[in-house]
Amino acid sequence: MAGNPSTVVLFGSGPEAYYVGHGRRHFIDGMSPSFTNHATTALNISMSLWISVSRDGETWIDYNAATEQFHHNSGLHQDIRDHLSGANGNFAAQFVSFPDTREHTYFVKGKDTGAWNAVLPNDFIQRLTEKQAAMPNFDAGVTGMLFGQGTTNIILFTTGFDAVFDESYIKEADHPLYKVLVEFGTEPWCIERGSQLCFYDSRYFFLKFSKPGEQTVHTRWNLPLVMAEKLAKLREEAQVPEERLLLMQQDQAWMDVARTRRMGQMQTASMVNAMALRNSLNFALPRTVNVRVIESIHY
Protein backbone atom coordinates (compact mmCIF):
# COMPACT_ATOMS: atom_id res chain seq x y z
CA MET A 1 0.00 0.00 0.00
CA ALA A 2 1.34 3.43 -0.93
CA GLY A 3 2.70 5.30 2.08
CA ASN A 4 3.00 2.21 4.27
CA PRO A 5 6.73 2.00 5.14
CA SER A 6 8.62 -1.10 4.05
CA THR A 7 11.78 -2.40 5.70
CA VAL A 8 14.93 -3.85 4.17
CA VAL A 9 17.61 -5.34 6.42
CA LEU A 10 20.87 -6.82 5.14
CA PHE A 11 23.72 -8.41 7.07
CA GLY A 12 27.19 -7.84 5.67
CA SER A 13 30.33 -9.93 6.01
CA GLY A 14 30.69 -9.05 9.71
CA PRO A 15 29.13 -7.02 12.54
CA GLU A 16 30.57 -3.81 11.14
CA ALA A 17 28.81 -4.24 7.78
CA TYR A 18 25.07 -3.72 7.35
CA TYR A 19 22.23 -2.03 5.50
CA VAL A 20 19.07 -0.94 7.32
CA GLY A 21 16.33 0.79 5.35
CA HIS A 22 12.81 1.82 6.29
CA GLY A 23 10.41 4.06 4.43
CA ARG A 24 12.48 6.48 2.34
CA ARG A 25 15.65 6.49 4.43
CA HIS A 26 18.47 4.11 5.26
CA PHE A 27 21.74 3.59 7.08
CA ILE A 28 24.61 1.72 5.46
CA ASP A 29 28.10 0.90 6.67
CA GLY A 30 30.85 -1.51 5.65
CA MET A 31 29.06 -2.95 2.61
CA SER A 32 30.87 -3.46 -0.71
CA PRO A 33 31.53 -0.33 -2.79
CA SER A 34 29.26 -1.56 -5.59
CA PHE A 35 26.31 -2.21 -3.28
CA THR A 36 26.89 1.03 -1.39
CA ASN A 37 26.73 2.92 -4.66
CA HIS A 38 23.53 1.09 -5.62
CA ALA A 39 21.96 1.72 -2.22
CA THR A 40 22.62 5.45 -2.40
CA THR A 41 21.61 5.95 -6.03
CA ALA A 42 19.07 3.37 -7.20
CA LEU A 43 17.70 1.13 -4.45
CA ASN A 44 14.08 1.83 -3.58
CA ILE A 45 13.01 0.28 -0.28
CA SER A 46 9.31 0.11 -1.13
CA MET A 47 9.86 -1.58 -4.49
CA SER A 48 12.72 -3.90 -3.56
CA LEU A 49 10.99 -7.27 -3.35
CA TRP A 50 14.14 -9.07 -2.22
CA ILE A 51 17.90 -8.60 -2.00
CA SER A 52 20.42 -11.43 -1.73
CA VAL A 53 24.01 -10.91 -0.59
CA SER A 54 26.82 -13.47 -0.62
CA ARG A 55 28.91 -14.47 2.40
CA ASP A 56 31.72 -12.02 1.59
CA GLY A 57 29.29 -9.25 0.64
CA GLU A 58 30.82 -8.77 -2.80
CA THR A 59 28.06 -10.51 -4.77
CA TRP A 60 24.55 -9.13 -4.52
CA ILE A 61 21.26 -9.01 -6.43
CA ASP A 62 18.36 -6.61 -5.90
CA TYR A 63 14.97 -7.16 -7.56
CA ASN A 64 12.79 -4.10 -8.21
CA ALA A 65 9.14 -5.13 -8.41
CA ALA A 66 7.97 -1.96 -10.18
CA THR A 67 10.35 -2.28 -13.11
CA GLU A 68 10.77 -6.08 -12.90
CA GLN A 69 14.51 -5.51 -13.24
CA PHE A 70 17.46 -7.12 -11.47
CA HIS A 71 20.29 -4.94 -10.21
CA HIS A 72 23.57 -6.64 -9.32
CA ASN A 73 27.31 -6.22 -8.95
CA SER A 74 29.29 -5.98 -12.18
CA GLY A 75 31.26 -9.14 -11.43
CA LEU A 76 28.23 -11.41 -11.05
CA HIS A 77 29.05 -14.90 -12.36
CA GLN A 78 27.88 -15.56 -15.91
CA ASP A 79 25.87 -18.62 -14.85
CA ILE A 80 23.69 -16.45 -12.63
CA ARG A 81 23.47 -13.70 -15.25
CA ASP A 82 22.13 -16.27 -17.69
CA HIS A 83 19.45 -17.25 -15.20
CA LEU A 84 18.47 -13.64 -14.59
CA SER A 85 17.94 -13.10 -18.31
CA GLY A 86 16.84 -16.62 -19.21
CA ALA A 87 19.73 -16.88 -21.70
CA ASN A 88 21.79 -19.79 -23.04
CA GLY A 89 19.13 -22.39 -22.37
CA ASN A 90 18.57 -21.42 -18.73
CA PHE A 91 15.12 -20.76 -17.30
CA ALA A 92 14.43 -17.16 -16.23
CA ALA A 93 15.01 -16.57 -12.52
CA GLN A 94 12.47 -15.24 -10.06
CA PHE A 95 14.67 -15.50 -6.96
CA VAL A 96 18.34 -16.16 -6.20
CA SER A 97 20.05 -16.80 -2.86
CA PHE A 98 23.55 -17.65 -1.62
CA PRO A 99 24.77 -20.04 1.12
CA ASP A 100 27.45 -19.57 3.79
CA THR A 101 30.40 -20.36 1.54
CA ARG A 102 32.94 -18.37 -0.42
CA GLU A 103 32.67 -20.71 -3.40
CA HIS A 104 30.57 -20.12 -6.52
CA THR A 105 27.33 -21.56 -5.13
CA TYR A 106 23.71 -20.47 -5.34
CA PHE A 107 20.04 -21.47 -5.39
CA VAL A 108 17.75 -20.24 -8.18
CA LYS A 109 13.96 -20.36 -8.30
CA GLY A 110 12.57 -19.88 -11.79
CA LYS A 111 9.54 -17.88 -12.87
CA ASP A 112 7.77 -21.01 -14.08
CA THR A 113 6.20 -23.41 -11.61
CA GLY A 114 8.54 -26.30 -10.83
CA ALA A 115 11.66 -24.60 -12.21
CA TRP A 116 14.60 -24.42 -9.81
CA ASN A 117 18.33 -25.06 -9.86
CA ALA A 118 20.91 -25.53 -7.12
CA VAL A 119 24.70 -25.27 -7.31
CA LEU A 120 25.44 -25.98 -3.66
CA PRO A 121 27.69 -28.00 -1.33
CA ASN A 122 26.78 -31.68 -1.00
CA ASP A 123 24.96 -31.32 2.33
CA PHE A 124 22.43 -28.96 0.77
CA ILE A 125 22.04 -31.04 -2.38
CA GLN A 126 21.37 -34.15 -0.31
CA ARG A 127 18.74 -32.32 1.73
CA LEU A 128 16.99 -31.02 -1.40
CA THR A 129 17.10 -34.46 -3.02
CA GLU A 130 15.60 -36.13 0.05
CA LYS A 131 12.86 -33.52 0.35
CA GLN A 132 12.07 -33.80 -3.34
CA ALA A 133 11.70 -37.57 -3.02
CA ALA A 134 9.55 -37.32 0.12
CA MET A 135 7.21 -34.57 -1.10
CA PRO A 136 5.19 -35.34 -4.27
CA ASN A 137 4.54 -31.62 -4.90
CA PHE A 138 8.01 -30.39 -3.96
CA ASP A 139 8.90 -28.92 -7.36
CA ALA A 140 5.55 -27.18 -7.76
CA GLY A 141 5.56 -25.81 -4.21
CA VAL A 142 9.11 -24.60 -3.64
CA THR A 143 9.51 -20.81 -3.87
CA GLY A 144 13.07 -20.32 -2.66
CA MET A 145 15.73 -21.11 -0.10
CA LEU A 146 17.28 -18.99 2.66
CA PHE A 147 20.71 -19.68 4.12
CA GLY A 148 22.15 -18.84 7.52
CA GLN A 149 25.36 -19.57 9.40
CA GLY A 150 26.98 -22.89 8.54
CA THR A 151 24.45 -25.33 7.14
CA THR A 152 21.38 -23.64 8.62
CA ASN A 153 18.81 -23.22 5.87
CA ILE A 154 15.10 -22.77 5.27
CA ILE A 155 13.29 -24.12 2.21
CA LEU A 156 10.39 -21.84 1.30
CA PHE A 157 7.10 -23.24 -0.01
CA THR A 158 3.79 -21.80 -1.17
CA THR A 159 2.14 -23.36 1.89
CA GLY A 160 4.85 -23.16 4.55
CA PHE A 161 8.55 -23.66 5.20
CA ASP A 162 11.00 -26.33 6.31
CA ALA A 163 14.03 -25.41 8.41
CA VAL A 164 17.22 -27.26 9.32
CA PHE A 165 19.63 -25.91 11.93
CA ASP A 166 23.40 -26.27 12.07
CA GLU A 167 23.85 -27.81 15.52
CA SER A 168 27.34 -26.35 15.75
CA TYR A 169 25.67 -22.96 16.24
CA ILE A 170 22.07 -23.66 17.25
CA LYS A 171 21.99 -26.10 20.14
CA GLU A 172 19.39 -24.84 22.62
CA ALA A 173 15.61 -24.45 22.43
CA ASP A 174 15.90 -20.82 23.58
CA HIS A 175 18.03 -19.85 20.57
CA PRO A 176 16.32 -16.78 19.00
CA LEU A 177 16.04 -18.22 15.49
CA TYR A 178 14.83 -21.59 16.73
CA LYS A 179 12.20 -19.93 18.93
CA VAL A 180 10.73 -17.74 16.19
CA LEU A 181 10.52 -20.59 13.68
CA VAL A 182 8.79 -22.77 16.27
CA GLU A 183 6.37 -19.89 16.95
CA PHE A 184 5.36 -19.70 13.29
CA GLY A 185 5.74 -23.40 12.55
CA THR A 186 2.50 -24.52 14.20
CA GLU A 187 0.27 -23.02 11.49
CA PRO A 188 0.66 -22.75 7.71
CA TRP A 189 2.86 -19.64 7.73
CA CYS A 190 5.05 -18.82 4.75
CA ILE A 191 8.34 -16.92 4.87
CA GLU A 192 8.70 -14.10 2.35
CA ARG A 193 11.71 -13.90 0.05
CA GLY A 194 12.60 -10.49 1.48
CA SER A 195 13.68 -12.21 4.71
CA GLN A 196 17.30 -12.47 5.85
CA LEU A 197 19.42 -14.81 7.95
CA CYS A 198 22.85 -13.78 9.23
CA PHE A 199 25.98 -15.64 8.11
CA TYR A 200 28.36 -14.49 10.85
CA ASP A 201 26.04 -15.04 13.85
CA SER A 202 23.09 -17.46 13.81
CA ARG A 203 21.24 -15.43 16.44
CA TYR A 204 20.49 -12.60 14.04
CA PHE A 205 17.71 -12.53 11.47
CA PHE A 206 14.98 -10.45 9.88
CA LEU A 207 11.99 -12.58 8.86
CA LYS A 208 8.71 -11.75 7.14
CA PHE A 209 5.85 -14.20 7.67
CA SER A 210 2.53 -14.38 5.84
CA LYS A 211 -0.30 -16.87 5.54
CA PRO A 212 -1.12 -18.38 2.13
CA GLY A 213 -3.56 -16.17 0.26
CA GLU A 214 -3.34 -13.28 2.74
CA GLN A 215 -1.70 -9.88 2.27
CA THR A 216 -0.76 -9.17 5.88
CA VAL A 217 2.95 -9.62 6.67
CA HIS A 218 4.22 -10.23 10.20
CA THR A 219 7.86 -9.30 10.80
CA ARG A 220 10.16 -10.69 13.48
CA TRP A 221 13.78 -9.71 13.96
CA ASN A 222 16.77 -10.05 16.22
CA LEU A 223 19.53 -7.64 15.23
CA PRO A 224 22.92 -6.53 16.53
CA LEU A 225 22.54 -3.51 18.81
CA VAL A 226 23.76 -0.96 16.28
CA MET A 227 21.37 -2.25 13.60
CA ALA A 228 18.46 -2.39 16.05
CA GLU A 229 19.12 1.21 17.06
CA LYS A 230 19.28 2.34 13.44
CA LEU A 231 16.00 0.60 12.63
CA ALA A 232 14.28 2.11 15.67
CA LYS A 233 15.41 5.58 14.59
CA LEU A 234 14.18 5.07 11.03
CA ARG A 235 10.82 3.75 12.22
CA GLU A 236 10.40 6.80 14.44
CA GLU A 237 11.29 9.21 11.64
CA ALA A 238 8.88 7.46 9.26
CA GLN A 239 5.95 8.39 11.51
CA VAL A 240 6.45 12.14 11.05
CA PRO A 241 3.47 13.42 8.98
CA GLU A 242 5.67 15.18 6.44
CA GLU A 243 7.72 12.03 5.93
CA ARG A 244 4.60 9.90 5.52
CA LEU A 245 3.33 12.29 2.83
CA LEU A 246 6.64 12.21 0.96
CA LEU A 247 6.69 8.42 1.10
CA MET A 248 3.15 8.25 -0.23
CA GLN A 249 4.07 10.53 -3.13
CA GLN A 250 7.20 8.49 -3.88
CA ASP A 251 5.33 5.19 -3.77
CA GLN A 252 2.60 6.57 -6.02
CA ALA A 253 5.22 7.59 -8.58
CA TRP A 254 6.67 4.07 -8.54
CA MET A 255 3.20 2.55 -8.82
CA ASP A 256 2.69 4.70 -11.92
CA VAL A 257 5.93 3.25 -13.31
CA ALA A 258 4.63 -0.26 -12.68
CA ARG A 259 1.26 0.58 -14.21
CA THR A 260 2.90 2.00 -17.34
CA ARG A 261 5.06 -1.10 -17.66
CA ARG A 262 2.05 -3.41 -17.35
CA MET A 263 0.10 -1.41 -19.93
CA GLY A 264 3.04 -1.65 -22.30
CA GLN A 265 3.21 -5.40 -21.77
CA MET A 266 -0.52 -5.74 -22.41
CA GLN A 267 -0.29 -3.68 -25.59
CA THR A 268 2.64 -5.76 -26.80
CA ALA A 269 0.76 -8.96 -26.02
CA SER A 270 -2.31 -7.66 -27.86
CA MET A 271 -0.20 -6.79 -30.91
CA VAL A 272 1.43 -10.20 -30.88
CA ASN A 273 -1.95 -11.92 -30.58
CA ALA A 274 -3.39 -9.77 -33.37
CA MET A 275 -0.44 -10.57 -35.63
CA ALA A 276 -0.74 -14.26 -34.81
CA LEU A 277 -4.45 -14.17 -35.63
CA ARG A 278 -3.83 -12.28 -38.87
CA ASN A 279 -1.08 -14.68 -39.87
CA SER A 280 -3.29 -17.66 -39.12
CA LEU A 281 -6.07 -16.17 -41.26
CA ASN A 282 -3.67 -15.40 -44.09
CA PHE A 283 -2.49 -18.96 -43.94
CA ALA A 284 -5.98 -20.46 -43.77
CA LEU A 285 -7.72 -18.47 -46.51
CA PRO A 286 -5.82 -19.91 -49.48
CA ARG A 287 -6.46 -23.42 -48.18
CA THR A 288 -10.18 -22.64 -47.86
CA VAL A 289 -10.33 -21.40 -51.44
CA ASN A 290 -8.31 -24.19 -53.01
CA VAL A 291 -9.63 -27.25 -51.20
CA ARG A 292 -12.26 -29.37 -52.97
CA VAL A 293 -14.91 -30.56 -50.59
CA ILE A 294 -16.06 -34.10 -51.31
CA GLU A 295 -19.03 -35.45 -49.43
CA SER A 296 -18.13 -38.63 -47.63
CA ILE A 297 -20.68 -41.16 -46.51
CA HIS A 298 -19.75 -43.76 -43.94
CA TYR A 299 -21.75 -46.99 -43.60
DSSP state of 116: E
Residue type, 247: L
pLDDT of 278 reads 53
Q: What is the pTM of this model?
A: 0.86
pLDDT of 276 reads 53
Going 234 to 236 to 242 to 244, the CA torsion angle's sign is: positive
8 Å CB contact between 159 and 188: yes
pLDDT of 205 reads 98
pLDDT of 292 reads 34
pLDDT of 296 reads 32
Helices H / strands E in the chain, number of each: 7, 16
| pLDDT string in tens for the chain (299-residue length) | 456 899 999 999 999 999 999 999 999 999 999 999 999 999 999 999 999 999 999 999 999 999 999 999 999 999 999 999 999 999 999 999 999 999 999 999 999 999 999 999 999 999 999 999 999 999 999 999 999 999 999 999 999 999 999 999 999 999 999 999 999 998 889 999 999 999 999 999 999 999 998 889 999 999 999 999 999 999 999 999 999 999 999 999 988 888 888 887 777 766 656 555 455 444 333 333 333 323 333 32
| Residue of 75, 85, 76, 72 whose CA lies nearest to 37 | 72
Domain ranges of the chain: 7-239
pLDDT of 266 reads 79
pLDDT of 257 reads 84
Report the DSSP beta bridge partners of residue 197.
205
* Strands (DSSP E) found in 98-217: 106-110, 116-119, 142-147, 153-157, 160-164, 190-191, 196-197, 205-210
pLDDT of 2 reads 59
pLDDT of 254 reads 86
